Amino acid sequence: MKEVLLVTGSSGIAAATARLWAAENPVFVVGLNEQECRSLATGLREASVAVADVSDEPAVRNAVAACLDRFGRIDALFNVAGISARSAGDGPLHECKSAAWDLAMDVNAKGTFLMCREVLGVWRKCAQAGAILNCGSVLARHPQRDHFATVGYAASKGAIEAMSMAAAAYYAPDGIRINVIAPGLVRTPMSARAQANPKITEYMTHKQPLTKGLLSAEDVAKTACFLLRSDSGPITGQIVTVDGGWAVSE
């Protein structure tokens, strides 16, 4: 039986995962940029979209309902949609703007919470098993002072980790698996600032030695698809770091 994936986000890791998943299974894309969502879905064999802000509770509810209307079920959820909040004033703790902290928490942590809650409600009602993968970050547990001192972003990803671990323990008896994927620095639209900085790109050649620089979105998508598929059934409550060696390098 085909497995339906609901993925939030329409670029970067989300897009790469949607493309990989859609080679064999249906995909439902939830994103804020309608043109980007539809462009992504057009290139996929069996896909549909909903335009929604993941931090908007009614919009999340409608998006999940739209996925069920289109495909009749949801087997896996991948929460990727998020922001860096640097442009809003995120940075070292003593400089971090309250607005940046609130924005990071609202989109990254609350958005993930709302999507998880809505899909879990569907699964519990139907006594259905399923898999959730939430997107964390290597920065939640392996900070870097010189180039990536964004405390609001790191905290929002740490919140996602804690929520996911607590939920994994609670829902395991129901056959519902919840894991976190924690990428290093990936070549996506969100990392444009880092990609444009020669000092950072040079630094990344030894910070992420396995890829000799930034990871590709496809590097992360391959692991994501594995964790989302039913054949990874014994795995839950894990934080899987895909970082090119970031965590073990200076």
Enzyme catalytic residues: 153
Left, alpha or beta for 133 (phi > 0: left; psi -120 to 50: alpha)? Answer: beta
SS3 (DSSP) at 63: helix
DSSP string covering 215-236:
BPHHHHHHHHHHHHSGGGTT--
SS3 (DSSP) at 144: coil
Quote the CA–CA distance of 63 and 197 in Å, as a whole number: 37
Q: What residues are paired with 47 via a beta bridge?
A: 27
**What's the count of helices (H) and strands (E) in the chain, helices before strands?**
9, 7
For residue 153, the tally of other CB atoms under 10 A from its CB is 28
Quote the CA–CA distance of 140 and 126 in Å, as a whole number: 34
Contact 215, 242 (CB under 8 A): yes
Candidates 32, 29, 24; CA nearest to 47 is 29
